[in-house]
Amino acid sequence: MIIAIVVAIAAGASIVIARNINSILAEKKGLLASTFFNYLTGFSLSVLFLLFSSESVTQTYHLLGTVPVWAYLGGLLGVAVVAISNLVTPKISAFYMSLIIFTGQLFTGIILDYFALGLLSIGKVIGGLLVVVGLIYNLYLDR
């Protein structure tokens, strides 16, 4: 249980550290070149992980056709996320960037739930508004 909690926190920390490392590389080599290296190393390691996982590569190959084509577009969005993050990361504090991204995720999630599933989670709206209020308060302190 404790290990699971530490791992979950480490997952969050790894996002921020990777973002910052990529943006330093982007300042030296360019936004797109840094994105290229991100995918070069990431793809290589993901192949290793797949080979050592319990998932079968041949089975994956046969399943590829069963996935709707639009589901593959996530990989392209990832490229946009890495490239834009390379641009933004050096410009604003790591903390505000993390929280603003989170707020964007939260409200997009709420809007998607509402229009796709007709669901409106009051808890998520109230919680999200509290996050925004706290964020604006701290941004105001930094002025």
Q: How far is the CB of 114 from another protein (least distance, A)?
A: 13
Q: How far is the CB of 62 from another protein (least distance, A)?
A: 10
Q: How far is the CB of 118 from another protein (least distance, A)?
A: 16
Nearest to 90 by CA among 13, 16, 24: 24
Between 108 and 114, whose beta carbon lies closer to another protein?
108
Residue 73: count of CB within 10 angstroms of its CB: 10
Residues 6+ apart with CB under 8 A from 81: none
Nearest to 85 by CA among 99, 103, 97: 97
